[in-house]
Amino acid sequence: MASPLTEHAASSRPDIIETDIPARLDRLHWGRFHTLVVVALGITWILDGLEVTLAGAIAPALKESPQLHFSNAEVGFASSAYLTGAVLGALFFGWLTDRLGRKRLFFITLAVYLVATAATSLSWNLASFALFRFLTGAGIGGEYTAINSAIQELVPARYRGWTDLVINGSFWVGAAVGAAGSIVLLDPALLPPDLGWRFAFFIGAALGLIIFFMRLWLPESPRWLMTHGRPAEASAILGDIEEKFRARGERLAPSPLPTIRLRTRRFTPLGEVAKTLFRTERRRTLVGLSLMAAQAFFFTYALVLTDFYGIRTDDVGWYLLPFAAGNFLGPVLLGRLFDTVGRRAMIATTYGLSGVLLAGAGYLFAIGVLSAMGQTVAWMVIFFFASAAASSAYLTVSETFPLEVRALAIALFYAIGTGIGGVVGPVLFGALIDTGSRWSVFGGYLLGSLLMVAAAAVEWSWGIAAERKPLESVSRPLAAAD
């Protein structure tokens, strides 16, 4: 039965409530509810991985397309358009997520993605392709903010690190699907070159439609409801979840549980958001920006294979599959350590090791001692650690800021980090690859390496030990009345 503390004001002041909702959420063991949340929400990363990998895998097909005939620089421009859309979409939808709630934005952002990715398949020139990729990115960027917020607020504290890393790492499951799909769809023996890449984008649209129906059962975040003056609704939702656990034989910790006193509010003013991020929590802001910028520095792997190793367009997917496997296994196998060894040690280690390995592999590429297979193995090893590091960046910015600004904080860090690394990266590497010089490309790799090592140093110095702690303990809510 729901605790009565969540049902009424904690004093004579109607704007203050006392609630045990955070403690009730954290006392739950892993159950079917959490698995369904992870599947329905976490699949967004699979969609993003699918989109990014398809864009990379079809890059050679876009260059060979009789209608589009893109250059390497234009391929990079289109990739940057996608990431620019993700940046702006994250900011706009992140602002709405903190105001309107997590659940409403699930459907708005997914609808934007669905329409835009289907429209991409109908592109007729660079401008239309870039526009539709921009809108696709906007939908995905909005998904990141709403979903990272909700997952953090619904998953018990002791599972939060591993869960977040695995979900973010599932980006590479989508990458594997995209790579496998590209093997078939880009095979000229099966489909004309200008038709295969168009069909590829329908894969994302089809998956998005399935996800839309999967999310119909999802509840609003009880933590968001409790800070927006709706504690009774929050308690009812959580009570229903608890009853399902009891029905399956789950024994819940008895009440009374620790409570928190909150001042209810309809929204958080942007001025208070800015004050929190850049004055009150400026050190955490520096950590978040460092981690996000370093992990977002992408490069165009498919073009390296085709331009420097002579791999055929329809064979690129075979090389992307093991690369994606290494990226997914990293968060899965290392994720538990982020909850046991701790955040600071693991984040600093994975970032630092990734940077050192990236510089070493880049040098071997520059002197020409790696074959295409050797290059793929090198990337598998590097990104086994780098993928866990990148996932931990989202974990960090999701759990180290107050609930009231969580979605907008995620959006801001994602936007700045992706703007620095993700938008500039594809254009830079496209231009470097166009030079035909391995040493020029190595310079780009070295820049990415330096960013990773610098982020490791920042995390080690100022990172937060948030493992196994309630969100409200890691970062006190702005609405706290005590």
14 band by pLDDT with thresholds 50, 70 and 90 = low
Spatial CA neighbour of 398 closest among 222, 138, 91, 161 = 161
Question: According to the model, what pLDDT value does residue 261 have?
Answer: 87
**Is residue 481 classed exposed, middle or buried when 0-12, 13-18 and 19+ CB atoms within 10 A define those classes?**
middle
**Bigger pLDDT: 388 vs 207:** 388
Quick one: tokens of 30? 């892993």
**Bigger pLDDT: 240 vs 199:** 240
Q: What percentage of residues in the chain have a pLDDT greater than 90? A: 24
Q: What is the pLDDT of residues 436-451, one digit of tens each?
A: 888 988 888 898 899 9
Neighbours of 108 (CB within 10 A): 17
476: phi then psi, degrees, rounded to nearest 5: -65, 130
**Is residue 393 classed exposed, middle or buried when 0-12, 13-18 and 19+ CB atoms within 10 A define those classes?**
buried
**C-alpha dist (Å) from residue 429 to 197, 421, 441, 448:** 22, 11, 7, 11
Question: According to the model, what pLDDT value does residue 217 have?
Answer: 84
Distance CA(288)–CA(458), nearest Å, equals 9
Distance CA(406)–CA(428), nearest Å, equals 31
Place of tokens 């800015």: 274
The answer on pLDDT for 9 being more than 50 is no
Quick one: tokens of 289? 């920006």
| 25-34, 140-149, 427-436, range with greatest mean pLDDT | 25-34
Give Cβ neighbours of residue 339 (< 8 Å, ≥ 6 apart). Answer: 158, 159, 160, 161, 162, 467, 468
Q: What is the pLDDT of residues 179-201, one digit of tens each?
A: 777 777 777 777 776 777 777 77
**E strand or H helix that includes residue 34:** helix 32-57
Quick one: tokens of 155? 């998953």
Distance CA(197)–CA(201), nearest Å, equals 7
pTM attached to this predicted model: 0.81
The answer on pLDDT for 295 being more than 60 is yes
Question: According to the model, what pLDDT value does residue 197 have?
Answer: 74
The answer on pLDDT for 222 being more than 80 is yes
97 band by pLDDT with thresholds 50, 70 and 90 = confident
**What is the average pLDDT value for the chain, to the nearest integer?**
83
Angle at 139 between CA 135 and CA 141, to 5 degrees: 110
Distance CA(378)–CA(362), nearest Å, equals 9
- Strand duo 16-19 + 260-263: pairing: antiparallel
83 band by pLDDT with thresholds 50, 70 and 90 = confident
The answer on pLDDT for 8 being more than 60 is no
User: 9 has which bridge partners?
Assistant: 17
The answer on pLDDT for 350 being more than 90 is yes
299 band by pLDDT with thresholds 50, 70 and 90 = low
Contacts of 212-215 with C-beta under 8 Å, sequence gap 24+, read 212/107, 212/110, 212/111, 212/114, 214/39, 214/40, 214/43, 215/40, 215/41, 215/106, 215/107, 215/110
Neighbours of 242 (CB within 10 A): 20
The answer on pLDDT for 360 being more than 90 is yes
**E strand or H helix that includes residue 336:** helix 316-340
Question: According to the model, what pLDDT value does residue 298 have?
Answer: 59
Distance CA(480)–CA(472), nearest Å, equals 9
